[in-house]
Structure 1
Amino acid sequence: MAEKSPAEPSPDNESETLKEKGIVYFDAGLTLQEWEVAQEIKIERGPSEFNYYGPINGQLLQELSDYFGTLGGNTEEAISTISQLVNRITHDTARDFNKDSAWVNVRTSVQSEELDIPRR
């Protein structure tokens, strides 16, 4: 069996390369419900960007709910689930970095074929 070249990405050296660049990534640990909602959330209209900077508290969760509520015909359950997911990830990340506030940026766009590249 051929040995992997050090240049080929592997979970270990890929992780180290990202850390050297100051990039951190993690498994968000989505529940099945969170994963399903993330796949099915409708983005039909609304502002294309959500920005929040401040403490991670009830205000963030409320503003996330308001934002996701503007995107299309989503159920209250879907809006609540996706809002709580973003809030949880924000809270966990801030905790891991010993911060009590965060900048949260969510970008959305309506599905489009504008940038599709034809393949031969």
Structure 2
Amino acid sequence: MEVTSVREGGALICKLVGRLDASSSPMVDQAMQGQLTEDDKLLLCDMSELEYISSAGLRILLMRAKEMAARKGKLALFAPRPEVKQVFEIAGFTKIIPLFATKEEALKAC
């Protein structure tokens, strides 16, 4: 699992590459927390190269969504692969964490 971060358009954008599962979720959580500052109000996750997400991965994203909401901010995801998007839909997470087709759509909507 690889996590890279950039700041763009007032957002912290984390790109997730690989498999987000029980073995990689602690590292992803630490990487995201390590990049967020107190001033960050928008956290976007680029899911274009995320191959798989387990319930442990969903939990990490839910925790980040709650953290962002507590600071009056928002977490949004963009460009998920069909199989990853399906996991979010089945789990009902699309009602909690918005999914967008592109980074531009996510930035505009948030």
TM-score, normalising length: structure 1: 0.24
Whichever structure has more strand as a proportion of its residues is 2
Q: Highest Rg: 1 or 2?
A: 1
Q: What TM-score comes out, normalization by structure 2 length?
A: 0.26
